[in-house]
Amino acid sequence: MAATLRNVTTYDLKLAAPLAAGFVVFFVTPLVILLALSFQTDPQGGRFGLTQYVNFLGDSFSLGVLGSTLWLGVKVTALTLLLGYPVAWLHQRSPGWAKGLIMLLVLLPLLTSVVVRTFAWVVILGRQGIVNASLLGLGLIDTPLKLLYTESGVVMALAQVQMPLMVLPLITALSRIDPNLADASSVLGAGHWRTFRKVILPLSLPGIIAGCLLTYAAAITAFITQSLIGGGQMLFMPMYIYQQASTLQNWPFAAAISVIFLVAVLVVVSVFNVLGRLSRGYTNA
């Protein structure tokens, strides 16, 4: 008797109960508690209202921290895309053994702790680090540059740390492009740059948008890298929340900041999702 495949939709929904319970306990419940805490008007929790949200939205310093955090994500994402696209392109154009080597180099950082990679950047960007030592040795500078505890240093370190999140979706998108399209474009008289601009780049848009989404969300929430490379010279939202919760013990305001930050990230993610759907429609046209 031939075995028949059972429709997955006919399985009992009770099988999903453990997953649903875990989702409720570890995601929904903490989120509800955070939301309730953000409506407390004071740390003692005597009354509820919108005081914490009004305090944040009416404070130019807090809005500046939110704006600088979102702008930091834009810069990191742009730099990661600029550096990651050639890597993905090289992977796609390389022979089999080289593809494996490039993939290993891309995945290797994921096997190393973010703390270790960030401390490596502390050594690289320090006054006695590799960059300053090289520039001094070449005679290009007379005194060491200040690279550590600057926004440029934070952007460079975050771009390297988040690079795999950009490269992997790009490799997937480029591998799905039919190589005959580039050959056809060349036969029709288009040069390499025109073929890339008119054929390859539009067809790789889903990978670009997916990589930008992952990189942006990871960059603006990277507490360790922002704190160690930025030091006390810059303040971003993760450190701002930590200061309010742990140092000042103002948990309601920290909860309100977290909710506002979450909403801001969700807005950005929604924009990327819309762009992703539009790009899929464009590539399928």
Pair 198, 185: CB distance under 8 Å: yes
Question: CA 119 to CA 241: how far, in whole Å?
Answer: 23
Query: Which pLDDT value is given to residue 283?
Result: 61
Largest Cα–Cα separation, the chain:
84
Q: Which residues pair with 8 in a beta bridge?
A: none
> Poorest-confidence range of 16-25, 62-71, 127-136?
127-136
Residues, the chain? 285
Pair 212, 285: CB distance under 8 Å: no
Alpha helices, H only, 10-150: 17-23, 29-38, 51-57, 60-93, 96-107, 114-125, 130-137
Pair 117, 160: CB distance under 8 Å: yes
For the chain, which domains are there?
A: 50-281 (1.10.3720.10)
Q: What is the DSSP letter of 191?
A: -
Q: If residue 168 lies in a helix (H) or strand (E), which one and from where to where?
A: helix 163-175
Res 3 pLDDT > 60: no
Task: Name which of 20, 161, 192 is nearest 80 in CA terms.
Answer: 161
Pair 237, 245: CB distance under 8 Å: no
Question: CA 283 to CA 60: how far, in whole Å?
Answer: 43
Helix (H, G, I), strand (E, B) or coil at 40: strand
Question: CA 124 to CA 154: how far, in whole Å?
Answer: 12
Q: What is the DSSP letter of 48?
A: B
Residue of higher predicted confidence among 187 and 244: 244
Query: Which pLDDT value is given to residue 93?
Result: 87
Name the pLDDT band for 284 (thresholds 50, 70, 90).
Answer: low
Q: What is the DSSP letter of 252?
A: H
> Poorest-confidence range of 9-23, 46-60, 167-181, 213-227?
9-23
Query: Which pLDDT value is given to residue 183?
Result: 81
Question: CA 260 to CA 66: how far, in whole Å?
Answer: 9
Q: Radius of gyration of the chain from Cα atoms?
A: 24
Count of CB atoms situated within 10 Å of the CB of 136: 15
Distance of CA 172 to the CA centre of its chain: 18
Question: CA 150 to CA 228: how far, in whole Å?
Answer: 11
Work out the percent of the chain whose per-residue pLDDT is above 70: 93
Segment 198-230, tens digit of pLDDT: 888 888 888 999 999 999 999 999 888 888 888
Q: If residue 181 lies in a helix (H) or strand (E), which one and from where to where?
A: helix 179-187
